[in-house]
Amino acid sequence: MELGTTIIGLGATALCIVPFVLMRRSTKKKEHELINGLKVIAASYNREVSIYDCGIDFAVGISAARDFVFFVKIRNEEMLEQCIPLNAIQKCRIDSTKRSIKTKGGHESVTDKLELTFLPIDKSIAASQFEFFNSEDHFQLNGELQLIKKWEALINEILSGKKP
């Protein structure tokens, strides 16, 4: 009798744990794919990625020489790749698109998009953006705000050190 209860208990526990294990495995696989994407872009510029971070569907990294910033994002099962040479960039800033929604307690601001924008030295060249968050892809922020602030500070620190 107790053996049967133990077996049922272990089976129920396994059924509760398996989905979490599978989700973790899937997340690790996607993260590995993103990091490999960064390494491939860096290798095409004869560089190595020294510092990187991963979000839900993107990864951002910087070369060991701190002269290139790399970005990969998975959208609709396709990997989008971007590379920015920092010697052509004047400044980096966060661009946030927000909208106001009416709630019971008044109005609340909702973030629709978070982008890291690179302003080029040459004004005839358009600015480039890395999209960290888009509300069309994900319903809520999940650490993207902290990551974008970290990368803005890191890149601007590097850029300020390169000025004559």
pLDDT in tens, 113-148: 999 999 999 989 899 999 999 988 888 888 899 999
Q: Rounded to the nearest 5 degrees, what angle is found at the Cα of 112, between the Cα atoms of 106 and 114?
A: 125
pLDDT in tens, 1-54: 687 788 777 777 777 777 776 777 767 777 888 889 899 999 999 999 999 999
Three-state DSSP state, 48: coil
118: Cα separation from own chain's centroid: 16
- Domain boundaries of the chain, sorted by first residue: 2-162
pTM higher than the cut 0.85: no
Amino acid at 134: N
Q: In what order do the strands lie in the sheet with 49-54?
A: 49-54, 58-63, 68-75, 78-85
